[in-house]
Amino acid sequence: MKKLAAVLGAMMLAGCVGPNPYVTPVEDRSNRQVTTPPPPGSVESVEPSPGVSVQPIEDVPVFRPQRETLPESGSINVAPTEMPASEPRNAAVVALLDTANRNTQGGDLRAAQNSLERALRIAPRDPQVYYQLADVQRRLGQFMQAEQVALKGVNVANGQPTELRRLWSLIALIRSDAGNGAGARAAQQEASRY
């Protein structure tokens, strides 16, 4: 209901303006003023801005016929591709992660790093590999790299809440180790979303 009310309000406001064809294009044009003047000495326009003209969105509704049959997701020319359900972790990767864990516990961080890089080549889409690698780099004091590797982990962990929570917590830890308190809190907040 709230949404509807808001919508109705917006409609009424729009109604006040009338059928202005130059209203609400999707994209943000605010930067246009900034970018139009060409960099000094490079470009001078001989026409009025050759940039994109925004299509007026008119009140006239656009009609389209309906499809006889619905396109299946698979037959769409360009499909939004989702990862296939994550496969069980390969025994080789398990072995490497274990070795890395042992090395980390034993303080041999270089060896751990080596094992994890081997694991990364075999399973570059496994968030756990990034998690452990980032943690090793954190212990090595390479906070910048540690955070970036963890962020890459977040990227590959799309749609896996448990992994995302762990990775964001790790990022919080990395940031606080690096003395970035505000960043750590932000990351912790991010972690609590999952």
Partner 1 sequence: MSKKRNNRKNSRSRKTSRSWFRALLGPLLKLSLVLAVIAAVGLIYLDAQVREKFEGKRWALPAKVYARPLELYPGQQLSAEDFRLELKGLGYRSVSSVSRPGSAHWNGGRVQLVTRGFPFPDGAEPSRNMTLEFGGQGLQRILDDRGRSLSLVRMEPVLIGGIYPQDNEDRDLIRLEDAPAMLPTALVAVEDRDYYSHHGISLKGIARAMMVNIRAGRFVQGGSTLTQQLIKNFYLTDERTLARKLLEMPMAVLLDLHYSKDEILEAYLNEVYLGQSGARAIHGFGMGSQYYFGRPVGELSLSQVALLAGLVKGPSYYDPRRHPERALNRRNLVLRLLHEQDKISDAEYEEAVAEPLGVVEQRSLQKGAYPAYLDLVRRQLREEYREEDLSSEGLRVFTALDPQVQSRAERAQSTTLEQLEKRYGQSAKGLEASMVVTDPQTGEILAVIGGRDSRYEGFNRALDALRPIGSLVKPAIYLTALERGYTLATPLEDEAFKLKLPNGDVWSPDNFDNKSHGRVPLHYSLSHSYNQSTARLGLDIGVDKVIDMLERLGVERELKPYPSLLLGAQALSPLEVAGVYQTLAANGFRMPLRAIRSVTDAQGQELSRYPFALRQEVDPALVHLIQYAMQEVAREGTARYVYSQLPPNLNIAGKTGTSNDQRDSWFAGFTGNRLAVVWVGRDDNAKLPFTGSGGALRIWTDYMRREHPEPFYATRPEKVEYVWVDDATGLLSDQRCEGSRQLPFIRGTEPKDSVDCGQLRRSGNPLDWFRSWFQ
Residues 138-157 that bind partner 1 (CB under 8 A): 145, 148-149, 151-152, 155-156
> Smaller CB distance to partner 1: residue 96 or 167?
96
Instruction: Pick out residues in 52-111 that bind partner 1 (CB under 8 A).
Output: 52-55, 57, 61-67, 70-71, 76-84, 90-92, 94-96, 110-111
Can you tell me which of 2, 17, 22, 39 binds partner 1, judged by CB under 8 A?
Answer: 39
Six-digit token pair at 184?
């750590």
- By CB under 8 A, residue 14 contacts partner 1: no
Pick the closest to residue 150 from 165, 162, 133 (CA basis): 133
> Smaller CB distance to partner 1: residue 29 or 185?
29
- By CB under 8 A, residue 44 contacts partner 1: yes
> Smaller CB distance to partner 1: residue 28 or 105?
28
Count, residues in the chain: 194
Full DSSP string of 128-166: HHHHHHHHHHHHTT-HHHHHHHHHHHHHHTTT-HHHHHH
CA distance 140 to 119: 19
Contact residues for 31 (Cβ-Cβ < 8 A; gap 6+): none
Structure letter (DSSP) for residue 83: P
- By CB under 8 A, residue 15 contacts partner 1: no
Beta carbon of residue 95, minimum distance to partner 1 (angstroms, whole number) = 5
Beta carbon of residue 99, minimum distance to partner 1 (angstroms, whole number) = 9
CA distance 92 to 89: 8
> Smaller CB distance to partner 1: residue 158 or 181?
158
CA distance 41 to 107: 58
- By CB under 8 A, residue 33 contacts partner 1: no
Beta carbon of residue 177, minimum distance to partner 1 (angstroms, whole number) = 18
